[in-house]
Structure 1
Amino acid sequence: MWIWQQQNWPNFTWDAAVLAPLLRDLSYNQGLLVGRMGVQSAQQKQQALDTLLANIIYSSAIEGEKLNAFSVRSSLAKKLNINEQPYPTTVQSDNLAEIMLDAINNTDSPLNLERVLNWHRLLFAGEQSLFTKIEGGQLRGDEPMQVVSGRLDKPVLHFTAPPKERVNKELSLFFSWFNKTQNEPQIDPFIRAAIAHLWFVTIHPLEDGNGRITRLITDLALAQEHAESIRFYAMSVAILEDRKSYYEVLEATQRGDLCITQWVKWFLCTLNNAIHHTLNNIEQTIFKTNYWASKDQTKLGEQQVKVLNKLLDGQFEQGISASQYQKVAKVSRATATRHLSDLQTLGFLTKTAAGGRSTRYKIA
């Protein structure tokens, strides 16, 4: 029995006591993120561009589709009025930027079938393979909708969606709930986003693109919770990094009863990971800025600055060796050794305890 076949569907339940500490931690980190971005106000637009780009690219990557990141970035930059080196855009990249910005900017616009089908139409308006032509902007046909994997002769069934005759009624219930609960104090907004994700992907109303539309709806729900912070973390990145468990917990939940505690727990932890990732990047940026502010860069050559920036960006976590420096800076072994020695003498780097060929250098 699938979850949508349960007698009380879609009256979900969850264990509030299990989720409470996760919600506290998540709210704290979200507040921390907003505060840190306030301090980094000069970088806000750039951070938003990077985050939105990552969300679009990784949401497609979850489904195995590879996008041209340069085109998507250029489309986003234009819509955000950010001046960057121009790169040719496509109908697809412009559409992807449009639907992402609609989801996070138009938080007071109701979610309805027209809006979702417009997203779907834009999602599939670009170039498509002749073998996988999808008619965007319409609900799926009468054929049973199943999620399968494996060989054609030995398919593994992961999920069967509600039949076509139930889709309109299911969507009507979902949209009504989503719009009514936007400012509902009785439900935590993070739990609401988790429910929205599970509910829509379970209805699976589209021939293709259900996952990507689901993640847009999730972004909309999170933007309704906090319109600013959603611009600075990319949940799709965290989902892709843990894609195996994403599909596992989703399947287990869709095969289970209406208690969705484990799904919500996974969702909250993954969202927290996404925020942590941004916080770590901010800390790295602040450290890098302060580092260069305290150093006299005029004493260095171009290759030395290049290597130091890579170290400051988190590369070579165990420190950099002379041979690694040689490859990065494209210099001779003797020059690499001399550059590293000079950087140590000038106070830019410090030598690790290991000696000989194992000698490595870290940021001082």
Structure 2
Amino acid sequence: MDAPHFIWQDPDWPAMRYDGAVVGAEVALARRAQGVVEGKLSALGFDQRRTLAAEAWSQEAVATAAIEGERLDLLAVRSSVARRLGVASQPGPSVPRHIDGLLDIMDDAVNLAAAPLSHERLHAWQAALFPTGYSGMSKIRVGAYREHTEPMQIVSGRIGHEKVHYEAPPSSMVAAEMESMLDWFNHDGNGDSLVRAALAHLWFETVHPFEDGNGRVGRVIIDLVLARDSGETSRLMRISQGLLAKREDYYIELERAQSGGLDVTAWVVWFVTQVRAACEQAALIIDEAMAKGRFWRTHGDKELSPRQRKVLNVLLDAGPGGFEGGMSTKKYESLTGTSRASASRDLSELEDWGLLLRAGNGRSTRYYPNIPGWDLRAEAAGRSA
């Protein structure tokens, strides 16, 4: 087994430092992106905002679990989130207790963001992730910090070929280290909130206080800080989804910060950059929601059949270019269970009424939503060429 890359050195955490000018420049970009999101969000109605929040929350839950290698049923997660937010949704599969537990702690972080972060609250969060007291086939300590005497090591790789990335502080030090972190978190109000989220996550992950669940709890701490900072807007900032997309970089940057002394400039800049990217993605999602809203307002007078409305919703939900290959007669048949003749007639009607644009001819004919700015006509022409 490789030697540990970094072993806990008991740093003076409150003395963490970073280059204010370098970090400040990235924070300014992130704040600008956040302001765009807030501005666009204000143009949406309550139901639209709630629907977007429900989908973002569902995707975040799936992503934070996926970072740890756990696959959640997205339909089950959506069903539970819809019930919590009062969003109309089709009934989904039953939700396992550990999924509800994850959603509970994410909800707690946002709805009770102003409440102090305490040992008891962290214990409750971790316990909610493991309602049976087991992680997989292994019994673990839940609702309390770790107590085992062997070193807590962060490893990757198959058995016999593990790589040790980091060795956390011994269990005997965890309570004291967490007391220091919570004292800083609850009483030191200095610095930008985005920077505080970066520092809090790094500090928590470095102490690694629990036997399991540290990654998910650590990312919920991020949710809490962002909710304190931006309230409702934070629901749309899919931080975990972005971290999942860059999981390797995420681990590398954490490892570098844990092994690089008290100067954490590189980590803070990298983290704030991910927040900015999340805001930019949220702005695009809001744009799509606004485009869909305009689409239905424009065509509200059309007497659509249930199957036509279903297919249009599928295309609109996929977003610009999201429904690969466009809508064909064969796909329409499959989605609606109708005959080829009916599918062809339905699609022709939608084109004649101006709801769809057609590209290609014969068997290559494809249909796309008629929404300015989605540029699907050019895309369709390119695919059929």
Q: TM-score, normalised by structure 2?
A: 0.82
Q: Deviations over 1:17-48 (max 9, x none)?
A: 33333222221222232233332232233333
Whole-Å Cα distance in 1 between the matches of residues 339 and 73 of structure 2? 36
Residues 143 and 90 of structure 1: CA distance in aligned 2, closer, same or farther (over 3 Å) = same
Aligned to 1:13, the other structure's residue is in SS state: coil
Structure 2 match to 1:148: 155
> Which structure 2 residue ranges, 5 or more long, are not aligned?
371-385
Q: What secondary structure sits across from 2:199 in the alignment? A: helix
2:224 equivalent to 1:224: no
Verify: 1:33 aligned to 2:37, yes or no.
yes
State which of 229, 235, 239 in structure 2 corresponds to 1:235. Answer: 239
**Residue 39 of structure 1 aligns to a residue in which SS?**
coil
| Change in CA separation of 1:17 and 1:169 when aligned onto 2, cut-off 3 Å | same
Q: CA deviation at 1:263?
A: 1.6
Q: Is it true that 1:123 corresponds to 2:158 in the alignment?
A: no
CA deviations on 1:226-249 (whole Å, 9 max, x unpaired) are 222222323112211221221122
Q: Does structure 1 retain, via aligned residues, the 8 Å contact 2:198–2:271? A: yes
Question: Is the contact made by 2:133 and 2:141 (CA closer than 8 Å) also made in structure 1?
Answer: no
Deviations 1:202-224 (A, max 9, x none): 11111111101101111111122
1:83-102 matched pairs, under 5 angstroms: 88-102=94-108
How far has the Cα of 1:15 moved from its partner?
Answer: 2.6
Q: 1:248 to 1:333 in 2, by over 3 A?
A: farther
Query: What's 1:295 paired with?
Result: 299
Q: Provide the C-alpha distance between the structure 2 equivalents of 1:261 and 1:3, rounded to a whole number of angstroms.
A: 20
Greater mean alpha carbon deviation, residues 165-174 or residues 205-214: 165-174
Paired residues for 1:264-275 under 5 Å: 264-275=268-279
| Match for residue 49 of structure 1 among 45, 51, 54 | 54
Structure 1 range deviating more: 23-32 or 341-350:
341-350
| Greater Cα offset, 107-116 or 78-87 | 78-87
Alignment of 1:7-26 (within 5 A): 9=13, 11-26=15-30
Say which of 303, 307, 313 aligns to 1:309: 313
Work out which of the residue numbers 60, 70, 84 in structure 2 matches 1:65: 70
The answer to whether the Cα contact below 8 Å between 2:133 and 2:140 also exists between their aligned partners in 1 is: no
Whichever residue aligns with residue 165 of structure 2, its letter is H
- What secondary structure, in the 3-state scheme, does the structure 1 residue paired with 2:166 have? strand
Task: For residue 227 of structure 1, give the secondary structure of its aligned residue in structure 2.
Answer: helix
Residues in 1 aligned to 2:311 and 2:301: alpha-carbon distance in whole angstroms: 13
Q: Retained in 2: the 8 A contact 1:59–1:237? A: yes
In structure 1, stretches of 5+ residues that fail to align are: none
Residue type at the aligned position of 2:216 = R
Aligned to 1:163: 170
CA deviations over 1:34-72 (Å, ceiling 9, x no partner): 233332232233333333333323212211223344555
Q: Match for residue 262 of structure 2?
A: 258
Whether 1:132 and 2:135 are equivalent positions in the alignment is no
**In the aligned structure 2, how far is the partner of 1:297 from the partner of 1:126?**
53
Match of 2:192 in 1: 188
Percent of aligned positions with the same letter in both sequences? 38
**Count of aligned residue pairs for this structure pair:** 360
CA deviation map 1:325-355 (0-9, x unaligned):
4444445555544444443333222234x55
The DSSP-based 3-state class of the residue aligned with 2:113 is: coil
Residue equivalent to 2:380: none
The answer to whether the Cα contact below 8 Å between 1:2 and 1:256 also exists between their aligned partners in 2 is: no
Letter in 1 for 2:51: Q
Letter in 2 for 1:166: M
In structure 2, the partner of 1:107 is 113
Supply the distance in 1 between the matched residues of 2:89 and 2:336 (Cα, whole angstroms). 27
